[in-house]
Amino acid sequence: MNFYRPKSVLRLVLIGFLLVTLPLVLVLLNATLYVDRLVGQSQSAVLQAVQATKESSLLLEQITAMERSARQYQVLGDATLFDVYEKTHEAFQASAKKLFTLLVGEAQWRLLKELVEKEQGLFTTLRDYPHNSDMSISAVSEFGTLRDLAAFIVAERRRLIDQEMEAMQQAAENTTRILTWQLMAVSPVVLGLAVVFTLLISRPIRRIDHAIRRLGDGEFGARIAISGPQDLEYLGKRLDWLRERMIDLEEQKKKFLDHVSHELKTPLSSIREGAELLADQVGGALNDEQRKVVAILRENSIQLQRIIEQMVNFRAVLLRHSALYLQEVDLARVIEKVATDHGLAMMAKNIKLELSLAEVAVAGDEEKLTAIVDNLLSNAVKFSPYEGVIRIQLIRRDTHAVLDVADSGPGIDPGERGKVFEPFYQGRITPEGRVKGTGIGLSVVGEYVTLHGGDVCVVDGRAGGAHFRVTLPLKPA
């Protein structure tokens, strides 16, 4: 089944935002409709209640006014008083007619209808009979009944208003409860959508990050395939293309190193053989100065051979799972042996070597530990000035052996300290010797120290020179 794949992360984010917010928007619109309906009903009910209460109270006042005018007319017999009564009667009928449209419920209608009919009967009697007749006198006494009936209508109306208020309050509570349940029902959906789109966005990004880390660690075997938005898939394809290019470059580098090392071996063998013949005085006796020169030539040819061997074995050196032949190694003895091997090179530059070695033994590979010390001391000799000083200190700190190698050379730029252990990296500061390094030595140190479960770093030197510190566990990690 083919699923829709957005063309970009931005489009995926927008789709996720819309889908996540859509349920919330629907709940909000529904809440707005509920509230608007409730507000409209409340306003209508309140307005109707106010008008009905006003008209009901007005009826009671009009009955009182009619009673007063009728009694005055009954006593005085003045036609003007009857006219006042008649006008009040007409106003009463108009108010009753308006009240018919405001009242709700059959009981209120019946009461109002009874009130209107009784009042109309009283008016007819007072109009048709003389003011001092028995019928008129009897009719006037009925105003009390009208007043009681009107008061009962007002009271009944107030009771209905209270009921309506309770009903509106109940409706508001029901609305609140419905909206709460809707929000509770939609929250898991929103959270689920948010989680889904977070995974859809973050998963390919994590895969890209993992692929980049693999490339940085030199793992080129696994194919890079990213699934997700089309722009991230395209980025995955470009990373896979980069992986293939790096594989090609690795092969080209290997061929280049093999070719260069092969081309250098033949002339180097001739140089070493010639130096050995001169050292054996085959061509004639040598004086002291000539023997020193021959010794320096022989030592530098050995150093050049070591550099070529490092280049040839570089790929094997970089394999972190290289075998370690563990045994108990006396680090102080290893350092003294390496210092002896570099004696002639230090003598040529009149370098002073200061050793401070504690008795420390570690479980490690003696050959690789020797290579660590040899590369650090060789680096110090190359960068030390004429009549410089090299300090080597070995101490035991808790469960670790700490080796410090410091020289009095130009030091390492702070911006380059994180790169000096990378293969083939050479800083802006170059050594004073005639033979330039390959940039492999310190990378070998870093790899071998890591194999032993240790750590190597650059620290601030006391005299401004380079200061390397190697920390090795007394037992392998």
Do the domains at 9-194 and 319-473 have one common CATH topology?
A: no
**Is residue 471 very low, low, confident or very high in pLDDT (cuts 50, 70, 90)?**
very high
Kindly report the CA angle at 275 between 272 and 276, in degrees rounded to 5?
85
51 and 43 in contact (C-beta within 8 Å)?
A: no
Cβ atoms within 10 A of the Cβ of 409, count?
24
Give me the residue spans of the domains in the chain: 9-194, 220-317, 319-473
Q: pLDDT band for 402, please (50, 70, 90 cuts).
A: very high
Q: Which single residue is written with the structure tokens 């009283």?
A: 122
Top-confidence residue, 356 or 132: 356
Query: Confidence class of residue 104 from pLDDT cuts 50, 70 and 90?
Result: low
What percent of the chain is predicted at pLDDT more than 90? 4
Host H or E run for residue 468: strand 467-473
Burial of 180 (0-12, 13-18, 19+ CB in 10 A): exposed
For domain 319-473, give the CATH number: 3.30.565.10
So what's the pLDDT on residue 321? 45
Q: Contact, 46 vs 102, CB < 8 A?
A: no
Residue pointed to by tokens 């997700």:
228
pTM: predicted TM-score of the whole model, two decimal places: 0.44
Quickly list H helices, 132-229. 134-140, 143-216
pLDDT at 113 over 80: yes
- Decide if 369 contacts 329 (C-beta within 8 A): yes
Cα separations (Å) of 60 from 73, 137, 173?
20, 21, 36
CATH number of this structure's domain 220-317, picked from the four choices 3.90.226.10, 1.10.287.130, 3.40.720.10, 1.10.8.640: 1.10.287.130
Lowest mean pLDDT across 102-111, 260-269, 429-438? 429-438
**Helix, coil or strand: residue 358:** coil
Token reading at 260: 């260069």
How far apart, in whole angstroms, are the C-alpha atoms of residue 443 and residue 79? 129
Q: Are 57 and 90 in contact (CB under 8 A)?
A: no
Pairing of strands 389-397, 467-473: unpaired
At residue 129, the 3 state secondary structure works out as coil
CATH of domain 9-194: 1.20.120.1730
